[in-house]
Amino acid sequence: MDKKVSMTKRFSLLLLSYTLFLIIYNSSAWYALHFEKSDSFVFSFEKYIPFISLMIIPYMTSGLFFTLVFFFCSSEKDLMLLTKRLNFTTIVSGLFFFLFPLKYSFFKPDSDFGILNHFYQFLVTWDSNYNQAPSLHIGYACIFWSVINKEFKSGWKTIVKVWILLLGISTLTVYQHHFIDIITALLLSCVTFFVFPENKERNYRIGIVYFFTSLLFLLGAALSVESEIIYGILSLWISIVLFLIGNAYSNSNSQFLKKKDGSINILNKIVFFPYLITYKIIWLYFRKKSEHFASEILPQVYLGARLKSNQATNFIDAKTYVIDLCAETEENKYVRENANYFSFPFLDIGSIKREEQQIVLNILSSLYETIKPDEKIFIHCLMGYSRSVFFTTLFVKNQLNIEIDEAITIVTQKHSQSIFPKYLLD
């Protein structure tokens, strides 16, 4: 624990957050109770969710976590981030409780739960059948998870994160929340983490957008399965793919799809088919509008997009060095088999670490220093718009020993489709 963060400040922020929760939670519950048109939103599959009495234990630990996380944060910055996220979640959830009051509609089994009766009696006394969507239990659990993930060591981290998962599941199995409450809480969590990010890295924010979109498709799957199961399965598939891509972005994992030789294995082709076909369509559409598939920027150095098969056979041979910067598509088979091929996958519209930039630039410089008159270098990403433009510009800057703005001008004039991604300069 960072000694710079005083216990007084920790207790003060805890008291502030808890007071805000009590005011909003109780006032919205009172309002919903007197609101004549409060409804329930239940999916048909929820009737198969079992009631598990023991799950009341992880459910009740939400309040304990709410208190302890204020003392887990090791820095004042993290403590303030926690406070902002918790209070934002409380306020926005409360707004929805007032505007769209929903009521839980399932009845708990009327039986003796032994020592657990004390917990269930607490729910009867203090918890509400209202204040459903978005679930504060889930919204808070996402915030607890982020603190545990950062502050705990590997062993305890795994145990506590499993417990938080059980806490989230318990909202369904102790009959306190419906499925819609869970989805809306996760959507709100994406907004919360986007508005109050742990860091300002571009990939982190893009990952959150993918997570948010994944949840929308998951909601679509739940809605679709009520009428057309095939659409539900398709939406669920897309949701899973978007989640995996979001995870790749949030972890800056640009090698989640392709192998080092530029190919994609059959399993990834099946799993990521919606992602791959989307990029395939985009590539084909924009390639039709392209007059030139490659532009010579420096003598024997070309910049362009991923080649079609007929373009590859006419342009690529054994004396061509190909620098493939795509993370989202498989390299053309002819190129892989006939050129001197280098794969450096980078996430589309994502950020690139400085050390990764330097590796590519070192390779380019090394190749250019020893290039023979009948050889050439071809640098490409999927569309030839940004990633390939970025690296080619840096390469031109280094080779000609000029300022970056001058290099940008040279590249964009010779390659008309250039969109220089200035955010990568950060």
Backbone φ and ψ of 59, nearest 5°? -60, -40
- Under 8 Å between Cβ of 309 and 293: no
Q: Is 117 left (phi over 0), alpha (psi -120 to 50) or beta?
A: alpha
Residues 6+ apart with CB under 8 A from 250: 203, 204, 207, 208, 211
One domain, residues 320 and 175: no
Give the three-state DSSP class for 381. Answer: strand
Distance CA 181, CA 137 (A): 10
- Under 8 Å between Cβ of 188 and 160: no
Distance CA 155, CA 133 (A): 34
One domain, residues 308 and 172: no
One domain, residues 411 and 271: yes
State the pLDDT at residue 1. Answer: 47
Considering 198, 223, 254, which residue would you say is the last residue of a domain?
Answer: 198
Note the pTM of the prediction, 2 decimals: 0.91
Distances (CA, A) of 195 to 33, 81, 185, 208: 32, 11, 15, 10
One domain, residues 33 and 138: yes
Distance CA 296, CA 304 (A): 9
Task: Kindly state the greatest CA–CA separation across the chain.
Answer: 87
One domain, residues 190 and 100: yes
Which pair of tokens denotes residue 207?
A: 């990952």
Q: How many domains does the chain have?
A: 2
One domain, residues 22 and 171: yes
- Under 8 Å between Cβ of 232 and 221: yes
Local confidence pLDDT in tens for the 426 residues of the chain: 445 789 999 999 999 999 999 999 989 888 887 776 668 888 989 999 999 989 999 999 999 999 999 999 999 999 999 999 999 999 999 999 998 888 888 887 777 667 777 777 777 666 677 888 999 999 999 999 999 999 988 788 999 999 999 999 999 999 999 999 999 999 999 999 999 998 888 999 999 999 999 999 999 999 998 788 899 999 999 999 999 999 999 999 999 999 999 999 999 999 999 999 999 998 888 776 566 788 999 999 999 999 998 899 999 999 999 999 999 999 999 999 999 999 999 999 999 999 999 999 999 999 999 999 999 999 999 999 999 999 999 999 999 999 999 999 999 999 988 889 988 887
One domain, residues 313 and 418: yes
State the pLDDT at residue 359. Answer: 96
Closest CA to 41 of 168, 184, 236: 184
* 157 in any annotated domain: yes
Number of neighbouring beta carbons within 10 Å of residue 313: 14
Residues 6+ apart with CB under 8 A from 96: 133, 134, 184
Distance CA 24, CA 44 (A): 31
Q: What is the DSSP letter of 5?
A: S
Give the three-state DSSP class for 73. Answer: coil
Distance CA 82, CA 10 (A): 11
Q: Which structural domain, as residue segments, surrounds residue 165?
A: 7-198
* 207 in any annotated domain: no
- Under 8 Å between Cβ of 93 and 139: yes
One domain, residues 304 and 192: no
- Under 8 Å between Cβ of 163 and 58: yes
State the pLDDT at residue 36. Answer: 60
* 371 in any annotated domain: yes
Which pair of tokens denotes residue 41?
A: 């939103």
State the pLDDT at residue 136. Answer: 95
Residues 6+ apart with CB under 8 A from 108: 51, 120, 174, 175
**Would you give the end-to-end CA distance of the chain in angstroms?**
32
Strand partners, 193: none
- The CATH number that applies at residue 313 is 3.90.190.10
State the pLDDT at residue 3. Answer: 54
One domain, residues 13 and 102: yes
Considering 182, 198, 214, which residue would you say is the last residue of a domain?
Answer: 198
Distance CA 83, CA 71 (A): 12
One domain, residues 47 and 125: yes
CA dihedral 238, 244, 249, 255 (to 10 degrees): -120
- Under 8 Å between Cβ of 300 and 375: yes
- Under 8 Å between Cβ of 10 and 69: no
Cβ density class 331-362: b for 16+ within 10 Å, e for less: bbebbbebbebbbbbbbbebbbeeeebeebee
State the pLDDT at residue 49. Answer: 93
Residues 6+ apart with CB under 8 A from 312: 332, 334, 335
* 13 in any annotated domain: yes
DSSP characters for 194-248? HHS-SS--HHHHHHHHHHHHHHHHHHHHHHHTTT-HHHHHHHHHHHHHHHHHHHH
Backbone φ and ψ of 71, nearest 5°? -105, -5
Q: Residue holding tokens 């739960």?
A: 113
State the pLDDT at residue 124. Answer: 66
User: Helices 179-195 and 154-173 sit at what angle, rounded to 10 degrees?
Assistant: 140
